[in-house]
Structure 1
């Protein structure tokens, strides 16, 4: 997801248009490099004792994702693209006329750049090799709503939040001012164990994905994920607080401005010994490209720091 946000930030800074394409039956395009056999399907007449030798991948094969990506990589590499050293799913083409970027996520593809002629050529080349649909300008990708304006791009997950609140079972419209209480220290022994922890786990997993556009809840979700194995009534109450906070801030969006310079800025901090169970510290960081946030995280440090200085050094 960091690469998606970075691509959108770069496109916003350079005022590029982002196109979206979808590959139909992507895994069926993969060529198998090893011998794979399967029993004939019902209705296929073959001599007794015979099996089918697959030449291409099928859905359900463990080799299918790798075979599809290798096939796609060979096609775009032949067209002059080079995979990025930082993300193998990002392909870059540079020429005297400009730069073109392709980002692949399974069967969804983003194409942007300032070489419009080459972008048209690439789209035609891909359509020759694969069954594809041109979805036009980017508006919805991986559950994220993208709105393009003359000032930049807006990213949000409003519909995702609405669906999440509908599944949560909350019936009132009360809101919370913050996702978590100040100086809160939760422990595994707080409260009574939930009779059925399934809903807690489902909501937490959904909220983890929501942090893709909501860095303001990253720390709260980091804390709540620590109790998914044995959640209690207290943990569930604080989970509901996060949902009530989202209810009151459902219209918040990330803005990727076109009026900034492509310069990286990184910020990090640490909370020393914030976990009262094992005394480990928590690291938080946020990285900006110009004025646009592209990466952030809140995570517990792997070792115990003996001072706040050591915790910040690890951060």
Structure 2
């Protein structure tokens, strides 16, 4: 590839060391069991001399975009393919005038000589940026256009049909209208790079894919089994839900009691020692990766466990093991997409979102937002996250959560529109009738500045009929499971609706303004 030139060592120039890195990947999809790679010790680079601070970060495709593309492929019965560009960084030339001198790795030294780099090399701070810029340039030359909502997603329509390409560094996720458009692209790319073509996608970013008659199934069985194996010495017991309910805030019908707040028990157990803290962090990171990919039922558990990662206790470690017990119990669970669920005209899309919030559940009195977005009734994006600011009421917390859900919903819809697909309808589901009434009627605005701007944007889009907001009963609001710990029966019921059943319809349509007088405060 000619990524360096042997030159005399120049005077008054820092020569950066390099080294070989050896890796072993058992059962790797790419078949690369053993690898040896020459890398630059990038930590020795100096800003302004060896790199520009504004030219170091590079985008990768959002995980939710991968699921959205899978939902698109499901609806249109498109095949998904996977290919890899070998030694990707070494293809990207360094900008003119950027001279980086490196010392050859041990065993390859030449007296009085060094390497002047011509291409990006692994380990360099700017390598990812230069590679991404170079690949985007080559795709642009092939007639692809970059998506405005996710700059790692590209589309092209040729005489053979539509092709969508998603980039995660050197891994390409391809949604092709037919085999002809795929073959055309492969032939073009083979003229530029050394490729590894894997065929129809079976694994991407550690996510297992399986095509069915109705769509696709995604899972992380192998990944989660490895996670459980790492904790096998702790004698994990199976559980039917991932987060233990630590307070007695539930009535006889497993419904949260109204208008009563319960203090979270103070954790007085000892702090974890360094080695166990590292294990806790590793376990939480693994759960979070699964929650972000194929296991939305783990989202609140991942959020709760991660909030303690900086200073975990022995009780926190037991909560981690409790969650692992649920993972073992639910190992067969998958994320399944089916075109049979859709109520949109063939080839079109309906985006539906459930939103909820748990008001001030912790010591810092910050509320927790939860949401899940469906594309033709296939879940593509979900969230369990503590709000940045303290709100003054349940309604304010719900409005903050709704504004986040609204923003993500619009993002998902515009992503698909940018790819040339028709979004026929957008719906938001909310279980607080006061919030819906405030969004629909200006005379009811009594919010503070924190939420006032959010509400005005929602009102504007409602007036423009950009989407609708409908009421859904709290017991049927799927987003509830992203905001708080739930008893086993409630959790299982919502998980089944989340993954296997159709999103629940709003029971009363748009809430009446008079409902503000009778709404009950949620915990």
Partners of 2:289 and 2:265 lie apart in 1 by: 24
Per-residue CA distance 1:67-113 (angstroms, 9 max, x = gap): 11111111111111001111111101134653210011111111112
1:310 corresponds in structure 2 to 396
Instruction: Report the RMSD for the aligned CA atoms in angstroms.
Output: 1.8
1:244 corresponds in structure 2 to 325
Give the unaligned 5+ runs of structure 2. Answer: 1-62, 248-262, 402-523
Partners of 1:180 and 1:285 lie apart in 2 by: 18
* Correspondence list, 1:1-315, <5 A: 1-33=63-95, 34-41=98-105, 42-45=107-110, 48=112, 50-95=113-158, 97-170=160-233, 172=235, 174-182=237-245, 184=247, 189-196=267-274, 197-211=277-291, 212-259=293-340, 260=342, 261=344, 262-275=349-362, 277-315=363-401
Structure number with greater CO (CA < 8 Å, separation at least 6) is 1
8 Å Cα contact 1:164-1:203 kept in structure 2: yes
Deviates further, 290-299 or 174-183: 174-183
Give the unaligned 5+ runs of structure 1. Answer: none
Partners of 2:322 and 2:382 lie apart in 1 by: 22
TM-score relative to the length of structure 1: 0.94
Partners of 1:40 and 1:256 lie apart in 2 by: 50
How far off its partner does 1:201 sit? 0.9
How far off its partner does 1:187 sit? 6.3
2:515 corresponds in structure 1 to none
Q: In the superposition, relative to structure 1, how do residues 98 and 186 fare at CA in structure 2: closer, same or farther (>3 Å)? A: farther
TM-score relative to the length of structure 2: 0.57
8 Å Cα contact 1:188-1:227 kept in structure 2: no
Per-residue CA distance 1:13-70 (angstroms, 9 max, x = gap): 1100011101111111111112222234553536x3x543211111111111111111
Per-residue CA distance 1:121-159 (angstroms, 9 max, x = gap): 111111110110110000111111111011110011111
Q: In the superposition, relative to structure 1, how do residues 171 and 300 fare at CA in structure 2: closer, same or farther (>3 Å)? A: closer
Partners of 2:187 and 2:159 lie apart in 1 by: 21
